[in-house]
Chains A and B, each alone.
Chain A
Amino acid sequence: RNGKRGEGTRRLAGTAGGETKKMNLVQAVNNALYLALETDPKAIIFGEDVGFGGVFRATVDLQERFGKHRVFNTPLCEQGIAGFGIGVAAEGGTAIAEIQFADYIYPAIDQICNEAAKYRFRSGGQFDVGGLTIRAPCGAVGHGGLYHSQSPEAYLTHTPGLVVVVPRSPAQAKGLLLASIRRKDPVVFFEPKALYRSAVEEVAVGDYEVALEAAEVVEEGSDVTLIGYGAQVGVLRQVCALAKQELSVSCEIIDLQTLLPWDRETVFASVRKTGRCIVSHEAPVTCGFGAEVVASVQQHCFLHLEAPVTRVCGLDTPFPLAHEKLYVPDVTRCLDAVKHVTSF
């Protein structure tokens, strides 16, 4: 696949040449977890139903390969899962916890935000939970309703001390997950469940990481900067194609990849070039992650702006059941925003 991986990807020494295999996103995640357990004897995976492979098959075959003492089920207790993971990581283990759906992460928020995020700071560096990684499937899936569709990243990006990552594709997911597991900070890794089976590409079979804190320019353009992450990047690609075709507008697409800390320089460089910026995410617009991006962009790129910085996001309502199609920031709404900023 040719794309701008550039300095965003770092291959580890000793990986197999360029051999790739077609994988969907959940297979890429599974592959990353496999490599993580193989290369790190202190790594363990736990969560609800992960033993038989998980409800999305992200952990399939791992218990068979690595044993029940390294891949095991927990009872139904997110707060317990997070707390337990923090304990393991504090003692130097590599704890890879699974929260079955991101919508269930709230009981764990106290542990993640009050304990994991602050462990290093409050102990002056004497302790840390760098070995903790929490994975959760997130995002709209067409029929999830209120509690199987949420994107709760904004609750976590508001917490200094955490790292929050959202991949857009199988190859990125594998590299970002390996980087997240090996990162010496607690990472929350949200996987867009809508892409688990639908996103397929050639993924390198070797061990590699995609750099954290690095946004990627997925498509180059000159007129408008479109910023997104996760499944929304796919929507923005479609917007880009339509904008070129119907409006003769050239869009530059940036995938943030890491939301906390996010790559400000790549974004600012792009907006200073294009003068127009649209941020898009599924989560509700008020205080969504887009608010942080927009505020920073207007501050640091003010004199370069040709139009107000704009957000196209989910609405300020609970995630609806019947009206999901109207709720999500789809191609039409985003294209509409492109029209407005280019005709400002």
Chain B
Amino acid sequence: MHSRVVGVGRMAGLLRPAMPLASNVHAHALGSRSMTVKVNGDKAEIEYAPCQTYKNDGPATNWIDTTKEEVKAALKQMVTMRRMEIAADLMYKSQLIKGFCHLYDGQEAVAVGIELGCTKKDHIITSYRDHCFQFSRGDSVKRILAELTGREGGSTKGKGGSMHMYYPRNNFWGGNGIVGAQMPLGAGLAMGAKYLTNKGLPRGEAPSDAVCYALCGDGAANQGQVFEATNIAYLWKLPCIFVVENNKYGMGTSAAKAASNEEFYTRYDPLPGLKVDGMDCFAVKAASQYARKWCMEGKGPFVLEMNTYRYHGHSMSDPGLTYRSREEVSGVRKARDPVDKLKKIVAELGWMTEQEVKDVEKQVRAEVDEAVEFSKTSPFPAVSEMYTDVQAENPAYIRGTDGVYGHGTCEWARKE
């Protein structure tokens, strides 16, 4: 086994007190990452910035295991996510996508890392910034882009759009437009997992075969229902991992101005929490794995705060520059970009040549381009989709949908 240290990153950020202003985005970065990896054949250990802990000891070391296969898959996945969101941005600007579209570029390491730390038997539920989770849970870029353009070939048959994508077979529950609403739902999903494992719902500590990751942003983290969900999850020891994706802004309001306690991983006391470098998919993997083990053992819910960042504005309607500076955005992109980080790790591991990485990017570009074409040519949903799925059994008649729109010829009024 040999180890290579590249660069002299320091863990200085750990000791710096949290600063309230968004301009100190880098202060939250837990220091720059040291590129230490230990390679052993097709396996490796990767060093990551240690997590700040609250009411738990956190992972025993700040090294996480990985394999060649895993790293290659993670790279392809993250590159695809990035490419897909950029494609969506271009499509939106050329008006192929209409309505509301919230892009995830900058935050990919959170999705990739969580998936690395769990299985498809575990549940994931998130907000409207869901394209990349739909992909990581198993759907195709084709179907995702076709859903954005509102076509029949889309993930939700074109009925949901950007914010409402679901993948039941791999336990992805969407895709929620109303912020914070997904947290009580997540607690409920965890409740279901515990119930099914134990054939009943033991209120105390009891193992669970699956956990639920319920994600929300730093804005939604101040919603009352999040506190209700964490409260009940703690009382009933539900295997729910509440993940706060802290990208520093809720629409246009910085987390500093919206949260009385910006350290979200401590916010839901007495739930234990970890603050994670959300730009490093291996740090996220470690935290995801640790929290999952905690929940599966029946110790109760857990909070993960992902220190992350979004390059785009809140949505495509928000330029994202009225409340933060261009320098801040480009600064994060230069210093902390998750795709670049993963590529650096890949380079250090030595399992892929630069050309192989370029080939992956080329392949991804081709796949995404093909998906864009599909999303343009897939037909619009049939008119019948307008009044199906309202109830379990489509009622014989939904007022207005018979073409007569409720007033009809008024024949019914002429009858005695």
Contact = CB atoms under 8 A, between A and B. Distances in A.
Interface of A: 48-49, 51-53, 55, 73-77, 79-80, 100, 103-104, 106-107, 142-148, 278, 285-286, 307-308, 310-318, 320-323, 326-327, 329, 333, 336-337, 340-341, 344
B413 to A, nearest CB: 5
Interface stretch (B202-210, B249-257, B339-347): B249-257
B99 A315 contact: no
A285 B380 contact: no
Contacts of A146: 160, 164, 177
Contacts of B163: 145, 147
Contact of A48 (B99, B158, B178, B251): B251
B158 A52 contact: no
Contacts of A48: 250-251, 253
Contact of A317 (B225, B323, B390): B390
B159 A285 contact: no
Contacts of A278: 407
Contacts of B200: none
Nearest to A286: B399
Contacts of B219: 75-76
B386 A311 contact: no
Contact of B259 (A75, A308, A327, A333): A75
Interface string B236-251: 0000000000000011
A106 B177 CA distance: 13
A305 B400 CA distance: 23
Contact of B383 (A49, A103, A323, A341): A323
A316 B398 CA distance: 6
A52 B390 contact: no
6 closest A-B pairs (Cβ-Cβ)?
A143-B99, A147-B177, A315-B400, A75-B222, A75-B258, A143-B98
A77 B222 contact: yes
Given A80-B224, A308-B413, A316 B98 contact: no
Contacts of B401: 315, 317
Contacts of A317: 386-387, 390, 398, 401
Interface string B259-296: 10000000000000000000000000000000000000
A341 B400 CA distance: 17
A73 B258 contact: yes
A310 B409 CA distance: 11
Interface string B322-347: 11000000000000000000000000
Contacts of A314: 400
Contacts of A312: 405-407
B339 to A, nearest CB: 29
A326 B398 CA distance: 14
Given A317-B390, A321-B158, A107 B410 contact: no
Contact of B252 (A49, A313, A320, A322): A49
B225 A107 contact: yes
Contacts of B179: 76
Nearest to B222: A75
Contacts of A329: 405
B178 A104 contact: yes
Contact of B222 (A76, A143, A320, A340): A76
Contacts of B250: 48, 75-76
12 contacts: A48-B253, A49-B251, A76-B219, A76-B222, A77-B224, A146-B160, A308-B410, A311-B407, A321-B160, A322-B159, A323-B381, A337-B407
A286 B317 CA distance: 33
A314 B399 CA distance: 9
B106 interface: no
A87 to B, nearest CB: 15
Interface in B377-399: 380-381, 383, 385-387, 390, 398-399
B180 interface: yes
Nearest to B128: A147
B407 A73 contact: no
Contact of B161 (A79, A106, A145): A145
Given A321-B99, A323-B385, A285 B253 contact: no
Contacts of B409: 340
Interface in B211-246: 219-220, 222-225
Nearest to A337: B407
A327 B386 contact: yes
Given A49-B253, A321-B161, A322-B385, 11 more contacts: A49-B252, A77-B222, A106-B178, A145-B160, A148-B177, A285-B406, A308-B413, A315-B386, A340-B410, A341-B410, A344-B413
A103 B409 CA distance: 34
A337 B258 contact: no
A147 B400 CA distance: 21
A48 B385 CA distance: 35
Given A48-B251, A322-B380, A337 B224 contact: no
A283 B385 CA distance: 19
Given A312-B405, A316-B399, A322-B159, A75 B253 contact: yes
B407 A285 contact: no
A79 B180 CA distance: 12
Given A107-B225, A315-B399, A340-B409, A52 B323 contact: yes
B57 to A, nearest CB: 31
A131 B252 CA distance: 28
Contacts of A286: 399
Nearest to B252: A49
A320 B380 CA distance: 13
